[in-house]
Structure 1
């Protein structure tokens, strides 16, 4: 791709291609985005075939304390006085050719969003991608003992039936935007379809949330029609929840808070189901009163 920061090293032959995006940074609470994309790349033996040169997309020198500034710096390692590694943010495309899947693993840019987005969308166009899907998370008042709620936002109304069919609620949000929102806006301008699938994660759980990653993988697999089992991830998710339960049992105040969240969650689910049931009766012209 001449003149572009995106470089394609190999040209896999893809049929009915789909692209899945995962980013570190915004919307990666519980490692939901990075953890999911890492799992999918490994699960489908995807191989690197393209990348975006990171130069110019990130702020390295940020004013403020060393603690704050360190968050923006590249990572280096010095062993016995010798600089052995220097790592800038990576933005890499992987491909599972037989599955028609492209995975993108990157870091949300600080600068030049349009150029960065166009790099991703140009690769999508180059390989005939029919649908792009970001996977990530948002923090919420949800207990770890219940199934994570999933929400979708879309660039095109034609995608709505797909998510309705798979019982994914549409997002409602107003506030600071991410590169994902910009990508969806830009994809629409370029005639590409893109969606965002996010899991609600418990705000009180720190670190990688395997239960949310499992929920995203399972739902994405259903939406994309991936004929694969994810039993290994399901087992890790069960073990993760058990470890959380053990911690909660030792903290009565947290246990009480979680019981309240469970009650609110169950009531909300019941209300949603009742509303859906009423809507179904009305479509069948059956009166409830």
Structure 2
């Protein structure tokens, strides 16, 4: 990794959404794990009335921390550092002064262009330097093998610095693809990580998928060839980013970009 880059010493935003981009809840599970491990505060809630279809993402009746029963609404929340939060551990293993933010919640059901504009405004308000999009797609892979992570970027400088490729996927996309395109055009530096989750566990949380991104450093998980028909299945779920050729530098950016928030 370059000595100075938005991913190493800038303000980092991690973005994950439940739904189409979140097979096995691997992406949203990782995002919430970062929030919990860094003890991030809720900074801003995006108005769900404008973007969420409550017939698709239904509210739930439950009990809050005080034991009061009530309706719990789906929420899209931006989390960020607090004065009492835990320090971020950098790639060298030492604490760093960088700030990590996390945007997580249900995938918006409508008004995507307006939603993207609102998120970009938030990125400007909090002076975000770089954005990591985290998604999970269904693939013909067994749960007994290490999870593969596919890394891509539309930014030529990021591709050259970290030895990753530009995505060649064509087809339907989710909010991650739309938001990434909007942020790229707005001048933000972005990187996309997609985990391949076994297709037969798509309705259940995938703890292996939650943990894979922070550990994808080329040592803990050996990289392997994409399974046959994986590209076809990725198209079916809209996460069809072609798996880049990851050298040591490519694995390093996955490890460090995610570890900065883990």
Q: What range describes the TM-score normalised by the shorter chain of this pair?
A: 0.5 to 0.7
Looking at secondary structure, tell me which structure has more helix per residue: 1
Partner of 2:200: 204
Q: Superposition pairs for residues 27-176 of structure 1, below 5 Å? A: 27-61=21-55, 71-77=56-62, 84-96=69-81, 98-164=97-163, 171-176=167-172
> Does 1:215 pair with 2:212?
yes
Change (3 A) 1:161 1:43: farther
Structure with more contact order per residue of length (Cα contacts < 8 Å, sep ≥ 6):
2
State the alpha-carbon separation in 1 of the partners of residues 162 and 49 from structure 2: 36
Task: Judge conservation of contact 2:159–2:165 (CA < 8 Å) in 1.
Answer: no
When the two chains are superposed, the root-mean-square deviation of aligned CA atoms in Å is 3.0
Task: Judge conservation of contact 1:152–1:163 (CA < 8 Å) in 2.
Answer: no
Partner of 2:10: 16
State the alpha-carbon separation in 2 of the partners of residues 137 and 217 from structure 1: 14
Deviations 1:238-268 (A, max 9, x none): xxxxxxxxxxxxxxxxxxxxxxxx99859xx
**Deviation for aligned residue 1:107:** 1.2
**Deviation for aligned residue 1:59:** 2.2
**Deviation for aligned residue 1:93:** 1.1
State the alpha-carbon separation in 2 of the partners of residues 30 and 197 from structure 1: 15
Gaps of 5+ in 1: 1-14, 62-70, 223-233, 235-261, 267-271, 277-289
Partner of 2:240: none
Gaps of 5+ in 2: 1-8, 83-96, 229-242, 248-262
Change (3 A) 1:147 1:53: same
**Deviation for aligned residue 1:58:** 2.0
State the alpha-carbon separation in 2 of the partners of residues 49 and 59 from structure 1: 23
> Does 1:181 pair with 2:177?
yes
Change (3 A) 1:50 1:35: same
State the alpha-carbon separation in 2 of the partners of residues 75 and 55 from structure 1: 16
Task: Judge conservation of contact 1:151–1:171 (CA < 8 Å) in 2.
Answer: no
Moved more, 140-149 or 168-177: 168-177
Q: Secondary structure at the match of 1:56?
A: helix
**Deviation for aligned residue 1:181:** 1.0
TM-score where L is the length of structure 1: 0.61
Q: Secondary structure at the match of 1:85?
A: strand
- The structure with the larger Rg is 1
